[in-house]
Structure formats: structure tokens, C-alpha cells
Copies of this chain bind each other. A is one copy, B any other.
Amino acid sequence: MSSQPKAPKTIILGNRPLRDYLLESIVSLNRESDVIEILGRGRHIYRAVNLYNMLSSRLGDRISIKNVEIGSMLIRNRRVSYIKITIQRI
């Protein structure tokens, strides 16, 4: 295994059940990445925070929030609010 820092993995929330993204997040933190970014846009902002809380209740103090970014981005000429939660493994 290489010891160089791994790129953060971005998990973009869509319409799949939240447990799918939960599983994806846990697998990423265990295998691929020391840092993951959870991106929720529009209505998925709420789900992004829920996902973080689910991760936090399962992984406890093995993870911590590195950054929370909010703002808006243009998607197909429409301005959409987003949240990007950066989580690191400790």
C-alpha cells in the first residue's frame, strides 16, 4: 500500500436511500480516503446533514468535521443552494 495522501472522495447526494450513501461513506473512510466530502444540493442539503449525523452516531470520535461550506452554484442556468461537508478520519 502507498503511504501518500489520498485525494478526498466526494459523495454527491441524489435520490437513492440515505443508507446507500452511508455505506459508501463508511467504505470510503475505511479503505480509500482519509477525507470525504458530502455534497448536497437543493433539497438534498437536509439529507447531507442527516447523513453526517448518521455517520457521527456510528463512527463517533473516529471522525471529525474539517469544514462546512455553504453557498450557491449554477446548474443549468439556475442558482442552486448547496452544502459541502468535509469529514476527516482521525
Nearest-Cβ distance from residue A18 to partner chain B, whole angstroms: 11
CA distance A70 to B50 in the complex (A): 9
* Total identical chains: 2
Q: Is A42 an interface residue (CB 8 A)?
A: yes
**B interface footprint on A17-37 (CB within 8 Å = 1, 0 otherwise):** 000000000000000000000
Given A49-B45, A81-B53, answer yes or no on A70-B71 (Cβ-Cβ < 8 Å): no
Given A43-B46, A46-B46, answer yes or no on A70-B81 (Cβ-Cβ < 8 Å): no
Contact present for A42 and B53 (CB under 8 Å)? no
Query: Which A residues, 57 to 80, have Cβ-Cβ distances below 8 Å to chain B?
Result: 65, 68-72, 79
Contact present for B49 and A82 (CB under 8 Å)? yes
Identify the A interface with B (CB < 8 A): 42-43, 45-46, 49-50, 52-53, 56, 65, 68-72, 79, 81-83, 85
